[in-house]
Amino acid sequence: MPGAFNAASAMLIEKAGFEAVYISGAGLSNSNGLPDAGLLSREEVLRLSSYILKAVSVPAVIDADTGFGGPQDAALTVKAFEEAGASAIQIEDQEFPKRCGHLPGKSVIPAAEFAEKVRAAASARSSKDFQIIARTDARGAGTLDEAIQRATLYIEAGADIIFPEALETREEFIEFARAVKAPLMANMTEFGKSPYLTMDDWSEMGYSFVLFPMTAFRTGMKAMEEALSELKEKGTQKGLLNRMQTREELYRLIKYDINK
């Protein structure tokens, strides 16, 4: 499930044949010049996500960071995102202000406190088809055993899917999957703490969902950086044309018929 950071990137994800889109908190933040630290409000995330939700027909998961507050805030977030057309919401047990899940220095709130957020979120949805994804950052802030214990508590509170963030080895992912009896999500972000594994690897280990939250953003940013450097150096974009999406390709993607 690749991460989208705007409507056009989400449309490319759908065009490539992926069955769902992940609206990445890091992607939304970074594309607006902000760090992945929970700085966007619920209203801002909802506004930015609404363009994505309208642009694609596949299910979309919205990264809601820490839920924008306490249990009541998490409930309001679920209601707003479900009404907007999302298929699932992801919330995490970090303290606010949060940090990128693969950075050091993270802290988590008490497990019982986050379980109340999960319970409130699960109770607020109008349909059981709307999925609650509970992410635990306890491995980075503590131990694998704590992450497993928290996952069990979050399942009891109503989480549909468990997302263990920043496990560090294949063996840790296997141990977590053996201990936690729920659908599992893994994060295959780049330059982080987790090993690079294939979709077949994840399936064999018992993970039903795999995120690639920043792959499109990072490759796109690098391509733009290189193109702009060449433009500055050569004073022309002619050498870049074969690396560009053409006008016709863009119009097909966004379903713009110039004859109408």
* Domains and their CATH numbers in the chain: 3-213 (3.20.20.60), 215-260 (no CATH)
Task: Spell out the residues 6+ positions from residue 204 whose beta carbon is closer than 8 angstroms to its own.
Answer: none
| pLDDT category of residue 169 using cuts at 50, 70 and 90 | very high
- Return the pLDDT at 102: 87
Residue 106 clears pLDDT 90, i.e. is over it: no
- Return the pLDDT at 140: 87
Burial grade of 242 (CB within 10 A; 0-12, 13-18, 19 or more): exposed
pLDDT in tens, 61-75: 999 999 999 999 999
Structure tokens at 184: 């599992």
Residue 141 clears pLDDT 90, i.e. is over it: no
Residue 94 near residue 117, CB atoms below 8 Å? no
Residue 227 clears pLDDT 90, i.e. is over it: yes
For residues 21-29, average pLDDT: 97
Residue 97 clears pLDDT 90, i.e. is over it: no
Residue 21: name the closest of 169, 186, 211 by CA: 211
| pLDDT category of residue 116 using cuts at 50, 70 and 90 | very high
- Return the pLDDT at 101: 80
CA 28 to the chain's CA centroid: 10
| pLDDT category of residue 105 using cuts at 50, 70 and 90 | confident
For residues 36-56, average pLDDT: 97
Residue 99 clears pLDDT 90, i.e. is over it: no
Residue 34 clears pLDDT 90, i.e. is over it: yes
Q: What's the mean per-residue pLDDT of the chain?
A: 97
The reported pTM is 0.95
For residues 123-135, average pLDDT: 98
30-49 burial, b for 16+ CB within 10 Å, e for fewer? Answer: bbeeeebbbebebeebbebb
Percent pLDDT > 90 in the chain is: 93
Q: How many CB atoms lie within 10 A of CB 29?
A: 23
Burial grade of 246 (CB within 10 A; 0-12, 13-18, 19 or more): exposed
Measured CA to CA, the distance from residue 202 to residue 90 in angstroms comes to 20
